[in-house]
Structure 1
Amino acid sequence: MTGILLTAVSLIAAASLLIAAIIILWPAGTGPATIDFLGRRGQLDREHATFLVIIFSGALGGVTHALRSLYWYVGNRDLRRSWLMLYACVPVVGAALALIVYIVVRGGLLSAQASSADVNPYGFSAVAALVGLFSSEATTKLKQIFSTIFAPAEEGRDRVPPA
């Protein structure tokens, strides 16, 4: 029970911090912004602010997924202790996948001359949050896309078939 409570409190705290960070770091205007975060003051240009918002949005999607899963399995009395590590990893995976998708989309679909001022942070933040929320589906879709673009990798001798 202690592990469940600690996990829930940690995820709720993480969600709160991520929401606050997204609000504080939201890229406004075209010039550098002065931010005050956790008692530290600094300058941040729009490009870096956008990267951080994308990463935090993906993590927020992952935290949301983890919280939904946690309350579902706890409520149904079907939570396994071995799943607690999953709840720690899902936000990190969400953040990493969101950044990867942002770089792929921004690098492949927008003009190379497009500046950070041309990027809609609402759209990319929404996609990043959805990638974090649905990281399994996002990974599957990315695999499908890249299997179409590139030749599939050879299967090793010790390959484990999908469940």
Structure 2
Amino acid sequence: MNKDKFLALDCNQRVAFVNDLLKNNHDLQQVADKIGINYSTFTKVMQEDDYVYIKRENQYYKFVRNVNTISSVDNSADELTAFINENLEVLKKLIEKYKRNDDFTIDKKIFASKLSTKTFRMPEELYQQFVRTCEKEFPHLKIQDIIAQLLLNFSNNYSNS
């Protein structure tokens, strides 16, 4: 790379280029010579945008003036991206369901009430179809809570009071 191309790079690209050369057993003088720029000019240009040379690391790093402006390195973003990529189809289905307002929610009253055990008679095929639907569409809900919500919905829809 020549001097003009080097100076045309933005600070971050310059630092990346120089750090790469420094990793390959070059020192600062050799890097300046390779670019074709005076050593003093090279070091001055490299200090732009608050970059500093750390000799023991043989690399340039961004100088931080205010510790509060440092954002902590968060590897959970990579984990989150991987999770989203793995579950993209499921997430799309959930979003579609939400858009159609097709989600089944359980009223808080159901959990706050005293429980009562009742026996209902119904066709086995109807019950099995209901269970399959519940397990497929609402695996996060208990069947007894779904039945209780359905009873509450029925009461709310058809009650005169």
TM value normalised by structure 2: 0.21
TM value normalised by structure 1: 0.21
Whose helix fraction is larger, Structure 1's or Structure 2's?
Answer: 1
Structure with the larger RCO, 1 or 2 (CA within 8 Å, 6+ apart): 1
